[in-house]
A = this chain, B = another copy of it.
């Protein structure tokens, strides 16, 4: 029969080992939870596709500037500094069909890509399957890239109309999931 004191020492050592185990275990679980929600594959995929489609939208601004300079067509008097005579300046304050086309494409991007970003972010928080989420993101981004090409060239209709509808459909599909997994 051993003495009490070594038994208590052994208990204390076991406690220490156990304490470490529980501590590590609970941390790992808490981080797994966080990883599941914040750093999941779906969030990473959304980040990437959202950034791509927003960059595409931002590139419409330099494209408008490019068309304004090559067509010499401006909206503000102070932008016509390259003109030499006052008559040239006035002539540059006009509406050009190519510039208006790029601006309509940009406006259509604002009207479609921003709803995708908002609803896509909320959709990501509902925890969808990675494959389903990727399908939605890729169909939307693909349809908007094709929409821009079809608008700027322009391609004959209904190519632009179909691209617009496919993008709307992907966003509506995500909105349906958001509304069916939340409550008022």
When distances are taken between beta carbons in the complex, the residues of chain B under 8 Å from A51 are 118-119, 122, 175, 178-179, 182
Asked if A66 is an interface residue, CB under 8 A from chain B, the answer is no
The answer to whether residues A54 and B179 also contact, given A47-B125, A111-B61 and a CB cut-off of 8 A, is: no
Interface of A is mostly: helix
Q: Which of A23, A160, A172, A184 has the most CB of B within 10 A?
A: A184
Quick one: which of B7, B154, B179 contacts A76, CB cutoff 8 A? B154
The answer to whether residues A48 and B115 also contact, given A33-B30, A38-B37 and a CB cut-off of 8 A, is: no
Interface residues on A, range: 35 or more
Q: Oligomeric state, in number of copies?
A: 3
The answer to whether residues A30 and B38 also contact, given A58-B171, A178-B51 and a CB cut-off of 8 A, is: no
Contact A115 B54 (CB under 8 A): yes
When distances are taken between beta carbons in the complex, the residues of chain B under 8 Å from A182 are 44-45, 47-48, 51
CB distance from A43 to the nearest CB of B (A): 8
Within the assembled complex, what's the spacing in Å between the Cα atoms of A62 and B168? 10
Q: Which residue of B lies closest to A16 (CB)?
A: B18
Within the assembled complex, what's the spacing in Å between the Cα atoms of A41 and B145? 36
CB distance from A162 to the nearest CB of B (A): 13
Contact B78 A157 (CB under 8 A): yes
CB neighbors of B among A1-36 (8 A): 1-4, 7-8, 10-11, 14-15, 18-19, 21-23, 25-27, 29-31, 33-34
